[in-house]
Amino acid sequence: MIILPSKTLLSSLVVAALLTGCGDSKESANPVVAEFSPVEGTIAQLHAALTAGTTSCEAVVQQYIDRIAAYDRTGPTLNSVISVSDEALTTAREQDEALAAGESMQPLQCVTVLLKDNIDTADMPTSAGGLALQHSQPEDDAYIVKRLREQGAIILGKANLDEFAFGYQGSSSVGGQVKNAYDQTKGPGGSSAGTGAAIAASFAMVGLGTDTGGSIRVPSSLEGLVGLRPSLRLVSQDGVVPLAHTQDTAGPMCRTVEDCALVMDALVGYDSASDSGQRNSYEYDAPLVASAYEYQQVTGVPASYASGLSATALKGAHIGVVRALFGDGESEENQAVQAVLDSALAKMTAAGALVEEVTIPNLDTILSTYKSVSRYEFCNDLTSYLSAWSNELDGHYTSFQAVADSLEYETRNQSTFTFYGSFCGDQSANTDYQLNLIERPIVVRGALMQALENLSEAGVSQGEPFDALVYPSILGLAPALGSSPTSGSNNRLSPFSGFPALTLPAGMADTDPALPVGIELLGREFDEQTLLNLAYGYEQVAQPRQAPTFTPAL
């Protein structure tokens, strides 16, 4: 079940016949609604087509399965999908029957989702990309998967990743090396590599990734996607294979801002689980929120991110450009990135935004002093995750050490397991770990708020506060296949502070083939709405995303 199963493909003629058969009367009644195309298709387009009867959910799901079969294991062989759900088509048929019976359209009705394969599903194993866990079958869905299903989403399958979410190469012992959808000689970034490549290639409508240090934003940048790392305590971590529980969060990866906003509407919400990570304060040892009411009081989640979007959000916005994070401009790749971002900033200005440079105080010291805590947390966190359910039925390993000793993972990660294994057990006396747990969030949050509020070191206002800070998501373009991208340290600011960061396409670099360049927006804690609004405003005026050319319509 882990390797993509062989599927009987519906021919394009059969799909066309299905659509045409119910389309004649609909066409005259509502001629503006076109047949749905999975290539670059949006949720709004899908729901319009379902409402008009120009397609069915079953036909749509089959189209995505056909695309995976045609392009992921053959053709460009992106290696982005580990498994396809045996239940997806059955669920689609059930949804068609429900709509035919007069039931209301759900917010994510028939929306196909590919999950990074470190997010639990009760109907598919969760391997984290490692052969050691290829048969590991959690007993229930992750909280965020439950939320998606409740709103009508169809979990299409599991996406490949950089094994155990360790890095940016995008390779695993279960799924192999993921390739970039825009150029198969290039890497996809990581660790949410498969999600990035699959959504870029329209193998599903939307995807979920996880981000400990940059694992949503890096592949989103390289694959021309909108990728949101939410505020750290906003989205439940229940049922997500951990890398570092004090930095991990899941988030959406989509082709449009609106689709990401709709997914965020489903992901947020109070979870009573003990490993939700939904604390009532940013301190690592703060108690969990005790109720849905307290969760709402702490986070201030809006009724709907999607309904709050504004196409004119850039007009009057104040955007702070962190030039210190743009790179030195010495390499051709960095020059290309800077050129695309400067063009993007000019478009923001033309759309009515006030774009000014801003300095994050002590930035060099922050990026050189503090580090990710994954080295200190992975061993204990993985054991806690694996021991949370009995292995009587699936025989899964129940500890970090058992996984490490199995050697059932890529050879390149043997040294990583050895290194992480040196930090098993009580780390309360580890001064470096405590520095990053206690001091780091205070310092980084303070520096970012000083920049966002546009204050001098003395706390005196220097002008209107900024709505968001902007900088390149990464400093280079997609790397050679099997390599990690030149990411720089920009992706650290969000996990080090717990503030949200959103990557979106800034434009395309002048390469052959053209490669995407991402721009990152960082905002105040729990202010995802502003980031989504600014991104939506830019998307509307710039139309920056271009589809890859190697995975056209079947």
Tokens read off for 264: 């965020």
**CB of 520 within 8 A of CB of 503?**
yes
Q: Alpha-carbon torsion 538, 541, 547, 553, what sign?
A: positive
Active site (catalytic) residues: 116, 191, 215
**How many domains are contained in the chain?**
1
The DSSP symbol for 354 reads E
Paired strand residues for 250: 210
Q: Could you give phi then psi for residue 156, rounded to 5 degrees?
A: -80, -35
Indicate the pairing of strand 176-177 with strand 318-321.
unpaired
**CATH code: domain of residue 165:** 3.90.1300.10
Q: What is the mean pLDDT of each run of 10 residues along the chain (554 residues)?
A: 37 34 35 81 98 97 98 97 98 98 98 98 98 98 98 98 98 98 98 98 98 98 98 98 98 98 98 98 97 98 97 98 97 97 98 98 96 97 98 97 98 98 97 98 98 95 97 97 93 98 98 97 98 98 98 97
Instruction: Please state, in angstroms and rounded to a whole number, the distance separating the CA atoms of residues 447 and 431.
Output: 22
pLDDT at residue 487 in the model: 86
Please indicate, yes or no, if residue 56 is contained in any of the structural domains: yes
Paired strand residues for 228: 502
Please indicate, yes or no, if residue 365 is contained in any of the structural domains: no
Tokens read off for 100: 């035919």
pTM > 0.75: yes or no = yes
Secondary element (H or E) of residue 226: strand 226-229
Instruction: Please state, in angstroms and rounded to a whole number, the distance separating the CA atoms of residues 112 and 5.
Output: 18
Please indicate, yes or no, if residue 207 is contained in any of the structural domains: yes
In 395-546, at which residue ranges do the beta strands (DSSP E only) sit? 468-472, 501-509, 515-522
Please indicate, yes or no, if residue 435 is contained in any of the structural domains: no
Please indicate, yes or no, if residue 332 is contained in any of the structural domains: no
Smallest CA-to-CA distance from 306 within 251, 263, 270 is with: 263
CB atoms within 10 A of CB 316: 11
Taking the alpha carbons at both ends of the chain, their separation in whole angstroms is 25
pLDDT at residue 33 in the model: 67
Give residue 129's domain range: 12-270
Please indicate, yes or no, if residue 236 is contained in any of the structural domains: yes
